[in-house]
Structure 1
């Protein structure tokens, strides 16, 4: 069975009442992938804004494998120390990763964040030397429109990110750089300039689906 672990920040964990892109991708693969698969990971909850904590199970549709390794306000810095144990415990064979915005916004610059990417990849491979990963670049949010220095850090990180993944890529443990959906618009695909609404969830799921289909023939073209 294909065991897929979604890894990410607030855009991946989602909040109370949301479907999440994880759900959208699960629906897509259920309709287009021939073999058995499931979503795995040490967490299942959504972020609850009223509690300011990841304590909610109130998905818009809770009837799917909700497991993940994602956290509101967590980035490469936070999840690199956790990913090895998560991959090992849940026998993850494929990671779908969307991280970096929180790091660049609050914790580390582009170069420091790149080093945490390296640590993350090393930790995941130490748990499963055959692990595959599809990784999404940072999608600039509304802050990047007003803060030129932040926008520059996002652009620099995405450039370093692509180079780092190409350097670390191996046939045994491939690292695939997904494409940011060219039509993604933070004004229409998010509800607050950062977090995806329904259309944004579909676009992110579509980016991962395209990489899976084009690289390994998993699933089919995404229809959101």
Structure 2
């Protein structure tokens, strides 16, 4: 006969496992002003509603509303207008941001300011990306990472450099990819017009926001699915460990 005490313990463990496997995923939109002062985050949140990922918790220190005509969306993000990838990496700013707002999944759209403001070499930008990915993985060894080939500019003569950076991102990501912490590369450049889809030559207008969401979304679903699988595996392992520690009572 199994004791009531043992049954109660097993029930509690089962409840804990169920809670862990359904805990909302934490997602950090990370980047510069193209993440901070645009509305693609609002539209992405709206697209997630009614799906298995509706409870996803957007995380980050930023909470700008941006006049996106949505009073409900989760505004938390780590977009920083004017910031360079190189400076974020060298100043170790992402370390503190992730300490304060841990994440399971992160998107990164960076490099625009490195090119437009300071004409930084592509290899230096890519080196900064490597530093940032390591920070992500130091924060969470199973971080799921989605990196954008960045949108084109509708001003100046920057798109040649943008294309060079975008071309370098694919082999870089392949070299950094791991099973535990995969990197998805999404192409935010192709099919996007720097003039028609940007409101000021740099930041997306409503049509640009829509295009960005359509590119982010499939990769994010894959990243969320992978992160949820980690949650389920961790909960199952914890439950198995609890069962091994339970005394057998006849």
Count of residue correspondences: 200
Residue 4 of structure 1 aligns to a residue whose secondary structure is strand
Once the two structures are TM-superposed, the CA of residue 187 in structure 1 deviates from its matched residue by 2.4
TM-score between both structures, scaled by the size of structure 1: 0.81
RMSD: 2.1
Match for residue 41 of structure 2 among 17, 22, 27: 22
After the TM superposition, list the runs of 4 or more consecutive aligned residues in structure 1 that deviate by more than 4 angstroms.
214-218
Mark the CA change 1:35 to 1:26 in structure 2 (over 3 Å): closer, same or farther: closer
Q: Distance in 1 between matches of 2:213 and 2:171?
A: 24
Are the aligned partners of 2:25 and 2:224 in contact in 1 as well (CA < 8 Å)?
no
Structure 2 residues without counterparts, runs of 5 or longer: 1-23, 227-250
Q: Distance in 2 between matches of 1:208 and 1:2?
A: 16
Once the two structures are TM-superposed, the CA of residue 180 in structure 1 deviates from its matched residue by 2.1
Match of 1:221 in 2: none
Mark the CA change 1:130 to 1:217 in structure 2 (over 3 Å): closer, same or farther: closer
Q: Distance in 2 between matches of 1:157 and 1:136?
A: 11
TM-score between both structures, scaled by the size of structure 2: 0.73
Q: Distance in 2 between matches of 1:34 and 1:211?
A: 13
Match of 1:95 in 2: 106
Q: Within 5 A, what are the aligned runs for 1:82-161?
A: 82-107=93-118, 108-143=120-155, 146-147=156-157, 150-161=158-169
Residue 108 of structure 2 aligns to a residue whose secondary structure is strand
Moved more, 4-13 or 36-45: 36-45
Are the aligned partners of 2:147 and 2:184 in contact in 1 as well (CA < 8 Å)?
yes
Match of 1:50 in 2: none
Match of 1:200 in 2: 208
Match for residue 42 of structure 1 among 61, 70, 74: 61
Q: Distance in 2 between matches of 1:82 and 1:154?
A: 24
- Radius of gyration: which is bigger? 2
Match for residue 194 of structure 2 among 177, 186, 189: 186
The structure carrying a bigger helix percent of its residues is 2
Are the aligned partners of 2:86 and 2:124 in contact in 1 as well (CA < 8 Å)?
no
Match of 1:209 in 2: 217
Match for residue 33 of structure 1 among 44, 49, 52: 52
Q: Distance in 2 between matches of 1:125 and 1:98?
A: 17
